Structure 1
C-alpha cells in the first residue's frame, strides 16, 4: 500500500516499435529520428521531475506524434502488442497500492493520458490499481506537489504515519483513517489526507475491515477463557501490527487497524460482542451462497 518499487524502464525503442507498427509490418506512425530522441528525453525528464506535472512534459517537438502515442495505449491492453508490459506491471503489485484491499487489475495514468499524450505508454506513468481506485482518481487535475502521491517516486517516512481511529460501542465498530502530522508533516500530510478522502478509504475499507477482523478471530479466541484477558488481547493485537509491518510494509491499513483496536479500551473490554456478531454474519452469508 502507498508505495511500489520503481519498475525498470525497459527497451524504449522496442516499446515504440511494438506500439506503432502492426505485427504484419504496417506502420501506424513513422517516428523520425528527432522524434524518437525527443521521447527518450521526455521519459528522462519525467524521472527527473519524479512524475510531477510540468510544462516541459508536453514538448512541442512531439506535437505531430502525440496523438499516435496516446492511441497506442490500446496496445497495452490484454491482447495488445504491449500486453507483456501490462502483465509485468500488474504482476509486481500483490494488491492495489492505493487502497491495499483489492487486487490491481487496471493501470492508472499518474499524469492523465489525455493531458500528457506523449507519456501514455511510459511504464513509469502506469500505476497498477483496482477499478474503484482508478475511477475515484478519475479526472483529477494534476498539480505539482498536490493530489494523489506517485506510487513509484514519492518519498515517505520510514515510520508509522497512518492512524486508525476507532469508535466502539454496543458491538458496533467504526474506523476512520488519518495521518500523523508529527511523522508526516505538511505538505506531505495534506497530500496523504487528500488521498484518503479522494479515494473514500473510510467507507471502502469498512467491509474489508470486517472480513479482516473475522480472520483474526481464531487467534483472539484462544484468549477468551483467560481470566481478565484484556492485556493479552492488547499484546496480541500489537504483535499482529508488527507482523503486518513486515509482511505489507509500513503504514498498511491492517497494521493501523490492529493498533487502533489495541488503543481502544471499550474494544479490549469486550471484543466478543463484535466478533461473535461477525461470525453470525459470515455464517448467514455462507448460507446465502449455498442457496
Structure 2
C-alpha cells in the first residue's frame, strides 16, 4: 500500500513560509499568476503520480524556479517549514525504501536540481534514511529504473519480494530478488533497479543478524525435540505471516524468515549459526549532500 501523504498545508501559507523571512523580508514576491501556476503544477504532479513529464516544466514559473529551489532550505531543521518536515517524517516509523532504519531525511522523488518548482511540494518529498537518500541520489524515474513512488505506486497484494539463503558451515548469506511471476514489467524492472541501487543485500546484513538473534530465545524452545526441524520451520513460516501483518506486505523480514523456512541446511542445523556471538559490521557515518 502507498504511504499516506502527509505534510500538506495550505499551499499559499506554505509558499509564504518558504519565501518570506520571519522579519517580513521577502526573498521572492510571487505574482498571482505564479501562485495559480504552482497550484496547477502540484495538481498535475498528483495526476501524473509523480512521474517525470515535460509538462511539469511550466514556462509560467521560469522566473521563480530558483526561489522555489532555494526555499527547500527552510524545510531543514530549524527552518520556517520545519513543521512540514516533522509531519512528513512522523508519517512513517521506518524508511520506506529499505525498511531497516529510521527516516531522518527527506528525498526529492523528482530531483530538486531538475525540478526546481517542486522543491517544497510535500508530495515530492519522501521520508528516507540517510543511506537510502545517498544511494538513490538524483536518479530520475524512467523505463526500467528509478524508485517507485512511496505515495502513489500501487503494489500487488502478493509476495513479490523474495530471498535466497546460502548456508554453509554455519555461515549465512541472504540475497533478495523480485519475483517476476508476481510483478509484471515494467514495475518488475523498476523494483529490481531499486533493490540493486540501494544495495540492500549488503546493507541489511546487520539488521538480518539482529532480527534472527532476537528470534533465538523462541527457537530455543524447540532445541533437542524429536520434531525440532518441523517446529522451527513452522515457527519461521508463522513469523513471516506476522511480519507481513505488522510491517506491511513484502517487508524484508518476511522474505528472510520465509527463505530460511525453505532452506534445508539451516533447518537441519540452525545452531551453528545461532550459537555464535552476534558480531556486527562497523557502521559507516553517512551524510547527505
Question: Structure 2 length normalisation: TM-score?
Answer: 0.94
Question: What corresponds to 2:107 in structure 1?
Answer: 108
- How far 1:143 moved relative to its partner? 2.4
Q: What's the CA shift string for 1:27-71, capped at 9, x where partnerless?
A: 111100000000000000000000000011110100000100000
Query: For residues 36 and 144 of structure 1, what CA distance do their matches in structure 2 show?
Result: 32
Change beyond 3 A, Cα 1:19–1:144 = farther
Question: What corresponds to 1:82 in structure 2?
Answer: 81
Does residue 166 of structure 2 align to residue 161 of structure 1? no
Point out where structure 1 has 5 or more consecutive residues left out of the alignment. 286-291
Point out where structure 2 has 5 or more consecutive residues left out of the alignment. 283-289
Question: What corresponds to 1:33 in structure 2?
Answer: 32
Query: For residues 73 and 25 of structure 2, what CA distance do their matches in structure 1 show?
Result: 16
Question: What corresponds to 1:288 in structure 2?
Answer: none
Question: What corresponds to 2:42 in structure 1?
Answer: 43
- How far 1:278 moved relative to its partner? 3.8
Q: What's the CA shift string for 1:79-119, capped at 9, x where partnerless?
A: 00000000000011100111111111000000001000000
Query: For residues 92 and 4 of structure 2, what CA distance do their matches in structure 1 show?
Result: 9
Question: What corresponds to 1:131 in structure 2?
Answer: 130
Aligned residues of 1:210 and 1:278 also touching (Cα < 8 A): no
Question: What corresponds to 1:225 in structure 2?
Answer: 224
Query: For residues 240 and 21 of structure 1, what CA distance do their matches in structure 2 show?
Result: 51
- How far 1:8 moved relative to its partner? 5.6
Aligned residues of 2:109 and 2:149 also touching (Cα < 8 A): yes
Aligned residues: 281
Query: For residues 174 and 120 of structure 2, what CA distance do their matches in structure 1 show?
Result: 38
Query: For residues 262 and 158 of structure 1, what CA distance do their matches in structure 2 show?
Result: 21
Counterparts in 2 of 1:1-291, with a 5 A limit? 3-7=2-6, 9-143=8-142, 146-279=145-278, 281=279
Query: For residues 139 and 40 of structure 1, what CA distance do their matches in structure 2 show?
Result: 25
- How far 1:145 moved relative to its partner? 6.5
Q: Aligned to 2:275, what secondary structure does the other structure show?
A: helix
Query: For residues 7 and 53 of structure 1, what CA distance do their matches in structure 2 show?
Result: 21
Query: For residues 75 and 8 of structure 1, what CA distance do their matches in structure 2 show?
Result: 14
- How far 1:72 moved relative to its partner? 0.2
Query: For residues 17 and 121 of structure 1, what CA distance do their matches in structure 2 show?
Result: 12
Query: For residues 261 and 172 of structure 1, what CA distance do their matches in structure 2 show?
Result: 13
- How far 1:4 moved relative to its partner? 1.7
Question: Structure 1 length normalisation: TM-score?
Answer: 0.94
Q: What's the CA shift string for 1:114-161, capped at 9, x where partnerless?
A: 000000000000000011100101132342673111111011001110
Aligned residues of 1:103 and 1:129 also touching (Cα < 8 A): yes
Query: For residues 219 and 189 of structure 1, what CA distance do their matches in structure 2 show?
Result: 35
CA RMSD of aligned residues (A): 1.5
Q: Aligned to 1:173, what secondary structure does the other structure show?
A: strand
- How far 1:3 moved relative to its partner? 4.1
